[in-house]
Structure 1
Amino acid sequence: MADALPLRIFLASPGDLPDERQVVRACVDEYNARRRGESNVTYEVVGWERVRGTARRPQEAINELIEESHFLVALFKGSWGSEPGSPWGYTSGSEEELFTGLLELSRAEQPMRDVWVAFLQHPSPAERIVKLREQVSRYHTMMYEAIVDIRELKTK
């Protein structure tokens, strides 16, 4: 059986989630290891750090990586993230990544298959995180997970 290219998971999150990002990567690695020999389908986690330096607006290059991805995982906890210099009004790179992934879902010719959003518990999340979660809840725009701690993230 020929090896297929891995399905790509773009991991979007502000900089305050290095442990959680590592958990997602470890879970995908474990899944791939368990399925080795059973299937030629594997998964690869990528993120903004995969993008090379560019003279363009950095978020544009990141968005191109999202356009090539099959899934997007967006994690929010305490920090909203940094300003991406967006001409569309996004106030954090993670916000722009989430909505870029959602837009890719509507484009049949693109590989994006699903977007998963998780809000991790934090004693004082940024106001914009609270507003995003309320908006998603109020308008039922998508389902999301409410994660209490990092151990729970491992099971998701």
Structure 2
Amino acid sequence: MKAIKAAALSFVLFSNLALAEVSPLTVVKDYMSAWNAHDAAKAAQYLAPDVVYYDAASGTPVNGKSNAEKEVIGAFIKAVPDLTWKMTSKPVYDHDTIAFRWEFSGKNSGEWAGSPATNNPIKFEGVSYITVNNGKITWQGDYYDSKKLDEELKPKNK
């Protein structure tokens, strides 16, 4: 009987450990690593099915995991296949929401929003606010100087 109780207790403890929620900061860091590995599908694994992705430059939220994977993550990776997205400040967080400054850089060697590649280097800074619930990103808001990015994406005169 003692062996059964011990086995049951071990099962409960290990089950709870397996179900323990991953910290929101870990989720965000792993998500950014997937972006930096240039893997849209892997990055999308960190998104909730009903995620809302708000890019202040476009002003219209992208709703749903598959739309965010295609219209945001995939579009950026296609346009800047060598992209680097890195935190440039210590993240600030309160329970489920994380805010941090970042820098995005790379070379525009792919189509961007229907425009051909310029092969220009790009580098811009911004801030993200990300909410994580049950180990998945449910909301992401990105705020940056889109005018600077637009200037960097303009074809250079030769």
TM-score under structure 2 normalisation? Answer: 0.24
Structure scoring higher RCO (CA < 8 A, sep ≥ 6) equals 1
Higher Cα Rg, which structure? 2
TM-score under structure 1 normalisation? Answer: 0.24
Choose between structure 1 and 2: higher strand proportion.
2
